[in-house]
Every structure is written in structure tokens, then in C-alpha cells.
Amino acid sequence: MDSSPSVAVQVVLHRSARWLPKLLRGLELLEYPRDRLRVRMLNNSPGDGSRALIERLSPRLLLGYEDSAEGNIGFGRGHNHLARQAGPETDLLLLLNPDTIPFHDCLLRLVERARSAPDAALVEACQFPLEHPKAYDEDGTTGWCSAACLLVRNRVYRELGGFDERLFLYCEDVDLSWRCWLAGHRCVVEPSARCVHVTQRTDHGKDLSGEILHGYVGGLFLRQRYFGEPAVARYRAAMRPAVPAETADRALSAFDSIRPETTAQTHPRIAERPDQQYAALRWNL
């Protein structure tokens, strides 16, 4: 019997039909024992042609596809749904964005790192061609991992309850990473594992309004949860000149409805402004 850990690849789709052909082909080309690999997709925008496209492409994968019965339920909730389907018997989850193409050896390298670093709960692939603009130590240890291409130890994911479903989009990965750190786990980047990610910056003409809005909501949420009211006030002051008043109002209103408790726990890896460069990109700070 193959000793490779079982991996459930999960992708939350939202108006993603244009990305599917290359993503599916990239998954077909992944070097990994086929009987240890299962792909699940949840479509948050049913009726957008994704189902028909997948049927037409008929990828050579053990693939499950599901339309979200409640429409767009958000990124974190979608992944939690797929993780529940994977069940406790799955060793590892590979979270992938629809606009990615993993290199052929990406999964092998991520799994190898997970094996050699048993305290690492999250192992992030290096995004390509634009590397995710955040810092990590020489051994790959990092404050948080992006969920665009992320290997997650399923046991830890379940222990932590997965993503916080109050966050609709953006920053749920930072939150999960920080909860990992607080629970005594480690977050790492594996630079030899590479994955194409067509980021907002490299997608011509992409509408960034959703990213700006949800990024602000997430920024407020993280500050409230990990640093308390003064950090929220600082963030609000910083965002005031950076976004249109209407967007700021909407973000604040959304935040009020999901305002979390502030944790008393701290950790050296949890910083109010984790990476200047990333913060500038994501939150205009």
C-alpha cells in the first residue's frame, strides 16, 4: 500500500470558468499517486458555466463538483464545507485558488516539507511569477500563509474549526495562521514548491473594488481580534484617506456585524502590521 499521505485538493469557485481549463490540466499533471489524491470543487456562483465546462473537459481526476445551494457563501465557509466532505480520514488538504496552476512537482514538494516538519500545520507554496510579497525566515518560517496554494494538516484544520466564517473574503488565511501559532503550530513557506497565481495585479482590467472592501473588513477584524480597540482606531484613521467614504462606510458597517472578541493571547509571530509590503498592497497602508 502506498505510504503517501492522502490529499484532498479543494477549490472554491466564483465566476471562475475562465480559469478552469488550465487549473484542471495543472491538476491532471500533478505528480502524486492518483489513489491518494481527490479533488473537490464548490461553485459559489452556480449557473456560470463551470459545471458544463468541467463535464466537457472531463479531466482525468477523481473530481467532485458541487453547486453551492445558498449562492455565494464566501471563501472560508466554502473551504470549510469542502473540508467537512474530505472527512477526518484525509491527511492533508491542498487549498487552491481557481486562478492558479500548480507546477507539476508542487504537491510532492509541499508534502515532503510537511513530512519533514511535523510541527508545521500550514505549508505554503511559493507563488509564481510574482512571489507573494511577504517575509519568511531562511527555513521558511513565516507569520502567516496565503491560502492561494496552501497545504494544511487536516487534523489541525479540524481542531481549529477551519476558517472563521464571519470573514467573507480575504484575511481569513491570516486569521487561521495566527490561530495556528497560538495553538502551538508553525506556518512555513516552501520555496521549492511553486504555483502560478494570476493575482489581481497581473490580471488586466480586474475590478479591485471587492478586494478593497473585503480587505478592509478583514483588516478591522484582525485588529479587533488580536490587538483590540486601539488598533482598530489606528486602522480606521489610516483607511479614512485611503478609500472612498462609501467603501469605508460599508466596511465599517460589515465589520460591526461580525466584530470578534479580543483575545488575551499574544505571540511574537503575530504583528499588527505583519508585512509593510503586503499591507500596502492589500490594504493601501
Partner 1 sequence: MPPSAGTYDFAVDPDDPNTSYGVIFRNIGDGSSVLDLGCAYGTLGAVLVERRGCSVTGVDLDEDAVAAARDKGLEAHVADLRTTDLDALLGHRRFDRIIVADVLEHLVEPERLLAQAVSLLAEGGAIVASIPNISHIDVQLMLAGDRWDYVPAGLLDRTHLRFYTLPGIRGMARRCGLRLASVEQVRLPPLGTEIWQQEPPPGCPPRMLRVWETLAGHRNPHLTVYQHVVVMEPGGEPTEDAVVEPAAGTLDVVVTTAPGRITRLRDALYSVAALTHPAVTALVVVRGDDPAYVEEVRALTTHLCGLVDIRILVVPGAPHRRAPALNAGLDAARGDFVCLLDDGDVLYPHFASVLAGELTADPRLSAASGGWVHCRGRMETHGFVAETKEVAPGPSAPLDVLLEPDGVHGGSVMYRRADLDAGRVRADETVEALEDWSLLRRLCRWHEVLSVPEPLAEHRTVDGEERTCAGSEAARRRAQAAICESTAELQVVLTEAELRALVGGVERGHVAALSDELAEARRQLEALRASPVLRIYRALRQTGIHRPVRAAYRLARGRRDG
Collapsing DSSP to helix, strand or coil, 79 comes out as helix
**Residue 38 lies near partner 1 (rule: CB under 8 A):** no
Helix (H), strand (E) at residue 209: helix 209-226
State which residue, 18 or 273, has the beta carbon closest to partner 1: 18
Q: Among residue numbers 72 through 131, which ones bind partner 1 (CB under 8 A)?
A: 101, 103-104, 109, 128-131
191 in contact with partner 1 (CB under 8 A): yes
Classified as helix, coil or strand, 168 is coil
Among the candidate windows 4-12, 115-123, 194-202, 262-270, which touches partner 1 by CB under 8 A?
194-202
Q: Answer for the pair 205, 112: CB distance below 8 angstroms, yes or no.
A: no
Q: Does 148 bind partner 1 (CB under 8 A)?
A: no
Q: Using the rule CB under 8 A, is 211 a contact of partner 1?
A: no
Contact 2, 33 (CB under 8 A): yes
Would you count residue 198 as binding partner 1 (CB under 8 A)?
Answer: yes
Q: Which of 194, 223, 225, 282 binds partner 1 (CB under 8 A)?
A: 194
Per-residue contact string for residues 221-260; x = within reach of partner 1 by CB under 8 A: ----------------------------------------
What's the DSSP call for residue 139? Answer: T
Sheet holding 120-128, edge to edge: 63-67, 37-43, 7-13, 92-96, 149-153, 120-128, 186-197, 100-102
| Min CB(22)–partner 1 separation in Å | 6
203 binds partner 1, rule: CB under 8 A: yes
For residues 46 and 68, is the Cβ–Cβ distance under 8 A?
yes
